[in-house]
Structure 1
Amino acid sequence: MIQTKTWISMFFVLGAFMQLAGFTARVFSTQDSCNRTAYGIQSVLLLLGPSSIMISVNLVQTVFYQALDAENFCWVSITWQRIVYPTLNAILIILQAIGGIMVVGSSSRVTIASATKLTIAIYVAQTFFWAFTLAENIYMSIRLCRDPTEASQTLLPRWRSWNQLFGLSISIIGLGRNVMRLTMAGGIAFLVENEWPAYAFDGYQMVVVLGAWVIWYLPGQCRGITSKPNWMHLMTLERRETPQYCEEC
């Protein structure tokens, strides 16, 4: 693989940058409510930031399955995950960007209404897609507990702890954040008149999710295994050669 440490994790950095830029624009817009530029930046970047973070989450999830040698427990093969998951995320985030830009850049009510419907549809599609990846992860975890692989016992013995990062990320960003946005789109008066709960939730999810990934840097753990398979397999075989096993031979 191309440097896992860089290209897989770059969407974490990109998403965090979008979030910070969006919050900065939000500060400027509170000082000048007529500043359409600041409003447009905050609306689009806070829309795309969490989605960018989820691209890295899904990419690391695939590498994690590979490191655990758990492809047989996945609903979608690792080969197809490398193609389908990033492609779906890319399509959804592009459509989401188009919808967000149309909302903030148009003065036509018809265009704004159409763009809003597009944005809502993308929220729903993302929710179902990320819920599917979470369900796949739960199924993989159950199967791996019942029938552990050699890699899960020797190369990644703490896989259960690291696996919680995916549940944390998907439940907060993939489900919680999108449900919050869909609730706002439903026309609840308090959320429509007061945007701060949505922005507070965006800030909370960025701090919690990215903080957890920084503390337990899973891409680096997986890269140490997938980039040196021959060496790691030799180490595994060496550990299994116990004195008792040699006597039996």
Structure 2
Amino acid sequence: MPELKPYRGGYYLWKYVPSLPGAIIFLILFFVATIFHFWKLHRTKAWFCLAFAIGGIFEVIGYIGRIAAYNSTDSVIVYAIQNVFLLLGPALFAASIYMALGRIIRSVRAEKHSLVRIKWLTKTFVMGDVVSFLVQAGASGLMATGDNATLGSHIVVAGLVIQVIMFGLFIITSIVFEVRMRRSPTTEAFDERINWMSQLRTLYAVSALVLVRSIFRVVEYAAGNDAYPLTHEWMLYIFDSLLMIVAMFIWGIWHPGTLQKYITADRQDVTVTTEEAEAKA
């Protein structure tokens, strides 16, 4: 039977023995979802979705780490691996989400409706995501040592807060774009092949899932090592694992990779299709 073992002296890395069945189930789910994403990436050649697929790899490595931790709760390396990769995977999801909005806007030639200049839209949010990623990456390793665990936890919270703020601003930017488009749609917005509203809903859904997960993580680490969230594993699986696997499947099924061809396509062909759609209306 596995037992909770101290890392050094009386300091415990874990507050519970990680669930082996839970880790195996989510390892399989994330592995399948990641393979699916790389297949979609191969088909669409939408390289802005590469970060999302790599985020899936991070999740897979994280759950391999939790499986290894089942019999090694005293291993600082195993703890650090699962902690780092599960924290950082969603930050990579966010990078692709941010890049998708700019492509939605360009696909319907609606740059004038963007709250942030289209030239800076993707750069602004991705840069914020990179800062959040680096802060979390630099701090998550500290949490594996007793002396610096509290400091590492505080820094991780700071990185997660940056992520939450950027997502909040991103969702506001997306909503403003949708409102302006509804009031004054571009000609390309009537092209049924682009289906920009469906793409925007996918963006909203996945953004909301990552945002809720990030808020949970802020609460989890801000509450401290001995608080309920970090001492009860079910909260991680409900408010992180489940939300992120749902996000991966939503993004994979309603994949935004189809937008790529409309950004680079001959606009004359799109205009003809649009005029036909308007004539039928």
Q: TM-score, normalised by structure 2?
A: 0.76
Structure with the higher fraction of residues in helix conformation = 1
Equivalent of residue 228 in structure 2, options 181, 185, 190: 190
Cα separation, 1, equivalents of 2:239 and 2:173: 26
Question: SS in structure 2 opposite 1:32?
Answer: coil
Q: 1:200 to 1:21 in 2, by over 3 A?
A: farther
Q: Does 1:87 align with 2:115?
A: no
- Report if the CA contact (8 A) 1:155-1:225 is conserved: no
What per-residue deviation string (whole Å, max 9, x for no partner) do you get for residues 161-220 of structure 1?
2211111111110x201111122122473212113321343221222111111111212x
Q: 1:125 to 1:70 in 2, by over 3 A?
A: same
Equivalent of residue 212 in structure 2, options 172, 176, 187: 176
- Report if the CA contact (8 A) 2:58-2:86 is conserved: yes
Equivalent of residue 139 in structure 1, options 176, 197, 217: 176
What per-residue deviation string (whole Å, max 9, x for no partner) do you get for residues 214-245 of structure 1?
111212x21111122xx233441465379x9x
1:234-245 → structure 2 map (5 Å cutoff): 234-237=269-272, 240=275
1:48-197 → structure 2 map (5 Å cutoff): 48-104=88-144, 106-108=145-147, 111-154=148-191, 156=193, 158-173=195-210, 175-185=211-221, 186-187=223-224, 189-197=227-235
Tell me which residue corresponds to 1:208: 246
Aligned identity (percent) is 22
Q: Which amino acid aligns with 1:180?
A: F
Question: SS in structure 2 opposite 1:8?
Answer: helix
What per-residue deviation string (whole Å, max 9, x for no partner) do you get for residues 80-126 of structure 1?
1232222221122011100111222x342xx3322221111111111
Task: List alignment gaps of at least 5 residues for structure 1.
Answer: 245-249
RMSD: 2.2
Q: 1:78 to 1:31 in 2, by over 3 A?
A: same
What per-residue deviation string (whole Å, max 9, x for no partner) do you get for residues 29-65 of structure 1?
1222112221111100000001111101111111111
Deviates more, 1:122-131 or 1:146-155: 146-155
Cα separation, 1, equivalents of 2:131 and 2:227: 32
Task: List alignment gaps of at least 5 residues for structure 2.
Answer: 1-41
Tell me which residue corresponds to 1:247: none
Cα separation, 2, equivalents of 1:179 and 1:238: 43
Tell me which residue corresponds to 2:7: none
Q: How many residues end up aligned between the 2 structures?
A: 234
Q: Does 1:44 align with 2:84?
A: yes
